[in-house]
Amino acid sequence: MKGHVLNCGYLPLVDCAPLLIAKELGFAAEEGLDLRLIKQPSWSALRDNLILGQLDAAQMLAPMPIALRLGIGGVRADVDVLSVLSVNGTVFGLSQALISALAPVPYGDPDAILAKLAQHGKTLRIGVPFHASTHRLLLSYLLARCPDIKTDVITVPPPRMAAAIADGQVDAFWVGEPWGSVAVKNNAAAIVLTGSQIWSFAPEKVLAARSNWVTDNPEPTRALMRATYKAGQWLGQRSNAALAVDILARSEHLDLTDDLIDPGISGEVTLDPTIGPRHIDNFLLFFRNASQFPWRSQAAWIATQLGADDNSIAEAKRCFRSDLYRENLGSLGVDLPGASEKVEGALAHETAVASTRGNMILGPDAFFDGKTFDFHG
C-alpha cells in the first residue's frame, strides 16, 4: 500500500540524520508515510518553500519558526515546531591566519577566547548560516560579555562556510557539522569552542510545519512526529553509531563521506589539523535527556535573544507545540515531562525530574556565564 506523500525540506548537514534515518530504516513507511526528502540550497530557500507550500514540513534552525511567527526579518508566517530534531552540534572556529595572530588560543575557554579577540583590535568578519539561527544567538550571547570586540556578522550558507574561511571572506565562523570539520581538514581553520560550551543544551534543529497544514493534516503530522521520534531513538543508541555513519554516507540525500559524518555522530572531533581527534561529551544529541521535547522555555529564551517583548515571548511559547508532542507521542509510551517549561540554565548536572513514566533524567543545560532564565508566569 502506498503511503501518504509528505514533502520535507532539509539542508545537507549531519544533524538532518533523524529525517534520513526515518526514511532509510523504514520508520516513516511504518507510520504510513511516503517521506520525500527535498534538499534545499540555503535556509532562506527552505523557509520560502515551506511558506509557499512547496514543502509540507522541514528541518529548520530552532529560531526560524519563532522569527517567522513574530515577523522578525520582514517575513511573517505561522509555523509550528513539532519536535526538536537535534541539540548542540555547532562549532566556533577561527581562520589559521587569525589563530597565528592571536597565538596561543586556548580551546574551550569562552572568557579567555574573548580576551584574545579583544586584543586583536580589528573588526572580525564572522560567518553564520542564517540570522535567525542558534549559531548567531550563541555568538551574540558570547560577544555581549565583551562589547569592545568589533564584528561584522555575515550570512554564509553552511556548505560554503569552509570555502569562505579558506578564501579569506570571513575570519571566523559558527557552523554545524560537517562544515567545521571540513574547514579543519582543509587546514583553513581551528575549532576553539563548541556551541555546548556556551549553552550546554541548546536546541539546534527542529521539525516544523505551517500551522494550517498541521491543523488540516492531523494524521500525517502524527505519523511524521512518530517516525522522527523513532529515528532519534535509534540514533541515540551508542551501539548504532557506526551503522548510522555508514547509512548516512551511502544515502543519496547527504552526499558526504563517512570521515566527515563521523565526528558529528561519534563526538570525536578534530579541533586543529595538527592534533588528533578529541572526544566531546554531548557534542550532538538526538534523543538523550529528552532532547526531542519542545520546551516552551527554550522558545522563550530564543525569543528573548531575538529582542522580543513580553507579548511576543508568550507568542513564541505557543510556537513550540509541546501539547501536540504529548498528544501524538504519549500513545507510544514515550516518557513525558511533568511540565512544558523549566528554568533554563539551572541544571549543572544530570537531574531526575517528574515524568509520566518516572524515568526521565534531564541533562545539564547551564550557560557559560552561570545565568539562569525563568519564563514562568
Three-state secondary-structure class, residue 322 = helix
pLDDT at 255: 87
Per-residue model confidence (pLDDT) at position 1:
45
Q: Which positions ≥6 away from 369 have C-beta within 8 Å?
A: 145
Q: Of the candidates 105, 305, 138, 64, which has an alpha carbon nearest to the alpha carbon of residue 153? A: 138
Cell of residue 376, nine digits: 514562568
- Residue 249: HSE in the Cβ half-sphere, 13 Å Cα cutoff: 15
Query: Would you tell me how many other CB atoms lie within 10 Å of the CB of residue 180?
Result: 30
What pLDDT shows up at residue 376?
Answer: 81
Q: Each residue of 160-191: pLDDT tens digit?
A: 999 999 999 999 999 999 999 999 999 999 99
Residue that is written with C-alpha cell 548567531 in the block:
136
Question: Cα 111–112–113 angle (5° rounding)?
Answer: 90
Do residues 296 and 206 make contact, with C-beta atoms less than 8 angstroms apart? Answer: no
Q: Which residues of the chain have pLDDT under 70?
A: 1-2, 377
Q: What is the pTM of this model?
A: 0.96
For residues 318-330, one letter each, b for 16 or more C-beta atoms within 10 angstroms of the residue's C-beta and e for the rest, the string is ebbbbebbeebbe
* Residue 121 φ/ψ, nearest 5 degrees: 80, -25
What is the rounded distance in angstroms from the CA atom of residue 40 to the CA atom of residue 216?
A: 25
Q: What is the pLDDT of residue 114?
A: 97
22-51: pLDDT as tens digits: 999 999 999 999 999 999 999 999 999 999
pLDDT at 276: 84
Cell of 35: 517521506
pLDDT at 39: 96
**CB–CB of 353/129 below 8 Å?**
no
Q: For residue 321, what are the contacts with CB-CB under 8 A and spacing of at least 6?
A: 80, 81, 82, 214, 294
User: CA nearest 9: which of 60, 73, 72, 78?
Assistant: 60
Q: Is there a cis peptide before residue 106, judged by omega within 30 degrees of 0?
A: no
Please tell me whether residue 16 adopts helix, strand or coil conformation: helix
Count other Cβ atoms within 10 Å, centred on residue 276: 8
Predicted local distance difference test score (pLDDT) of residue 275: 86
CA 107 – CA 193 distance, rounded (Å):
6
* Polymer length of the chain: 377
Cell numbers found for residue 62: 530552532
Say which residues have a Cβ less than 8 Å from residue 184's Cβ, sequence separation at least 6: 93, 190, 191, 270, 271, 272, 273
